[in-house]
Chain A
Amino acid sequence: MSPKLRLGIAIGFVFAVLAAAIYFPILKRRVKKQAQVQQKSEEQARLELVQSLNAASNEPKVKAKLFWAADAEYSELVANTVELPLSNDPVLRSKQVLSTLLAGPVDSELRTLPPDAALLAFYILPDGTAVADFSDAMANSIPSGVQSEQFAVDSIARTLEANVPQVLRLRILIHGQAVETLAGHLDLSGTFPVSTKPVPPAPAPAGVPTTK
């Protein structure tokens, strides 16, 4: 190898190291910034829900039924009556009751949903199927197990059933995506029955039951 070539290689390496030293801090800053943006969007979803609750504060307070665990051992779900100013609009009303459900009971051991989970979006299709989109924390922070995951879904479904009669069935998304299970056990690929009234079959994805 000629001295000229060796010198060229050496200079090349020096430049490569210098370029990397300049570039990596920039990359790090970008990643950090992106993480903050994502965090902000979830925080924004929470704020929107709180604002929607405040907007409805002019509404007369009604007795809403929210379902949490009866005890720390998850023996059953029980209805808790809470006075809330609820909108007559079914979508807004659903957001209000679900945000209160997510906020949890006074005794944190009775909560059925993770404290850091947020409702990102909620809408109701013309056939009565409600679509609830939760943040990643709903799947990542929930205690893993058939019992705990079924309690989480049941508490949402029964709370909607008790307070929003327009909702006939429920589809759950995680961060806008259809996922196979909630936390490794409970099937989220289809819809869950909400209303105990006879419900027409849903045009849901094949697989999971749509009606009781």
Chain B
Amino acid sequence: MPSLFHCASAIAGPSACISFGILLCVPLMNLTNLMNALIRRIAAVSFAGVLLGALAVHSQTPSPGPPSASTTTPPNSQNPATGRAALNIVVLDPAHGGTDPGARGSAGIREADIVLELTAQVRHGLENQGFQVLQTRSSNENPSFDDRSALANAQTGAIFVSLHVSSTGLSGTVRAYTMADMAMPPTTGGLIPWDQAQASYLSLSRKLGDAVQGELTQRFKGSPMNVQSAYVRQLRTTAAPAIAVELSSVAMEDKADLDRMLPGVADAIVRGVVTFRPSYVTPAVPGNAPGAKP
């Protein structure tokens, strides 16, 4: 409340000064009429402010974006009879952007910029392998976590790869992450809760993560042998095999060292995705372990 009070004071102070000035400017006006006029003007301005505020909020709400309801029907789960679909789309997610620079190094390296460069290189490699590639952002903007997930959730036969650069870790190493264990959501009529969209895909995500991490470990000494698990917010609402790949780190003194890593990381991700491709199956029933193929 104190901050609210200060806000009100800050607004009320100058307004009071101006109102006082107006009162002095029109000494001949009847005081009652003046007060009524002031009240009408304040009411009109307030109403206009509320209207503009509502319009601004409405315009910021993405119209097709994440469902306001708490459930989603991933296209991948719409054909439970076959349980198979071809993997042909890769959704790349350069993390952060816009007002959120992500991790920042003392040498001025910004995570949001590096991952955008990395995305371009991964995209090029994947397209050469015949994949269709979608990006959650292509410039310096910052879609919400749900908007990013929504892009993947609207596709059939897609995987999701979120790209990050950390503040910590042994410089020159790279880690792939999957979402940590999640409780299986209750299923009703093929709908799965938006907040637990990843649960049915965890097994497939780990396969994808292991395939990518295997390639990364060969190229970047000191990287872990297997995919790691972590409670990555971005992955939780994604109804597709999903991983996060994180490079170490923005703490490098020279950005050129980090830039030199990017082609190797991009190549490892592309090769990992190609290796994973035959394993891709859609979960037959949300709640059952997908990726039953050995």
Residues of A that sit less than 8 Å from B by CB: 5, 8-9, 11-13, 15-16, 19-20, 23-24, 27, 30-31, 34, 37, 73-75, 143-151, 153, 180-181, 184-187, 189-190, 192, 201, 205-212
Q: Are B244 and A146 in contact (CB under 8 A)?
A: yes
Within 8 A of A (CB), among B179-222: 180-183, 193, 195-196
Chain B residues within 8 Å of A210, by CB: 183
- Least CB distance from A167 to B in Å reads 18
B22 at interface, CB cutoff 8 A: yes
Task: Check A208/B181 contact, CB under 8 A, given A11-B24, A15-B21, A30-B9.
Answer: no
B17 at interface, CB cutoff 8 A: yes
Q: Are A201 and B164 in contact (CB under 8 A)?
A: no
Which of A12, A30, A153, A209 has most chain B Cβ within 10 Å?
A209
Chain B residues within 8 Å of A211, by CB: 181, 183
Q: Are B246 and A145 in contact (CB under 8 A)?
A: yes
Chain B residues within 8 Å of A192, by CB: 231
Q: Are A184 and B231 in contact (CB under 8 A)?
A: no
Complex CA distance for A151 and B17, rounded to whole angstroms:
53
- The size bracket of the interface on B is 35 or more
B193 contact from A12, A19, A149, A206, Cβ within 8 A = A206
B157 at interface, CB cutoff 8 A: no
Chain A residues within 8 Å of B25, by CB: 5, 8-9, 11-12
Complex CA distance for A74 and B249, rounded to whole angstroms:
12
B164 contact from A30, A185, A208, Cβ within 8 A = A185
Chain A residues within 8 Å of B83, by CB: none
Q: Are B168 and A209 in contact (CB under 8 A)?
A: no
B276 at interface, CB cutoff 8 A: no
Q: Which stretch from B39-47, B95-103, B260-268 is at the chain A interface?
A: B95-103
Determine the residue in chain A with the shortest Cβ distance to B21. Answer: A12
Q: Are B2 and A148 in contact (CB under 8 A)?
A: no
Task: Check A147/B196 contact, CB under 8 A, given A12-B22, A23-B13, A185-B232.
Answer: no
Within 8 A of A (CB), among B243-263: 244, 246, 248-249
Complex CA distance for A143 and B103, rounded to whole angstroms:
7
Q: Are B167 and A153 in contact (CB under 8 A)?
A: no
Chain B residues within 8 Å of A148, by CB: 166-168
Determine the residue in chain B with the shortest Cβ distance to A38. Answer: B2
